[in-house]
Amino acid sequence: MKQRLLVVGRGDSELADYEKRFMHRICSFTPFEVIELQAGKEKRIEQRRQQEGVRIRKRCQERTMVLFDERGRRMTSQHWASFLRDQPGSAEIDYVIGGAGGVEDNLRNSAAQCWQLSALTLPHQLVRTLVLEQLYRAQTILAGHPYHRE
């Protein structure tokens, strides 16, 4: 299985070391990379969403897209692990964090899965960090590693 995290916008230097730690841990289980996409530059939010949607679609062609969105399905760490367990070994999965203004409806509707991280409004950078930690946690659940405690 190959997995990628696609994020609109750049990472924050204050959290870079923390993210690298989880990236290294995830890569011990599966090939994984983070791809940063340029944020839209338009003044109107809907035009920015469209620009960003084009960039996301271009990168996600022929891959399973899991989109993080406030309107998505609430998932537990166990649900994440089950999702990974159910994927074929040849699966190519893109986890997508849209821009700060959200994503266009067409992109949301085209995603194979749409997951919510929290009912709270979270800073964009924190979402990125949470996704990496939860992906690592899901891998450890599947491996029977003691990182996840119930």
List the domain boundaries for the chain: 2-143
33 forms bridges with which residues in the sheet? 4
Read off the pLDDT of each residue in 93-122 and give the average, rounded to a whole number.
93
Question: Does the pLDDT at position 150 exceed 70?
Answer: no
* 23/30 Cα distance (integer angstroms): 10
Q: Is 2-143 assigned to CATH 3.40.50.300?
A: no
* 35/92 Cα distance (integer angstroms): 14
* 34/125 Cα distance (integer angstroms): 13
Q: How far does the chain reach from its first CA to its final CA, in angstroms?
A: 26
* 88/129 Cα distance (integer angstroms): 26
Q: What is the pLDDT of residue 86?
A: 96
pLDDT single digits (tens) 32-60:
999 999 998 888 999 999 999 999 999 99
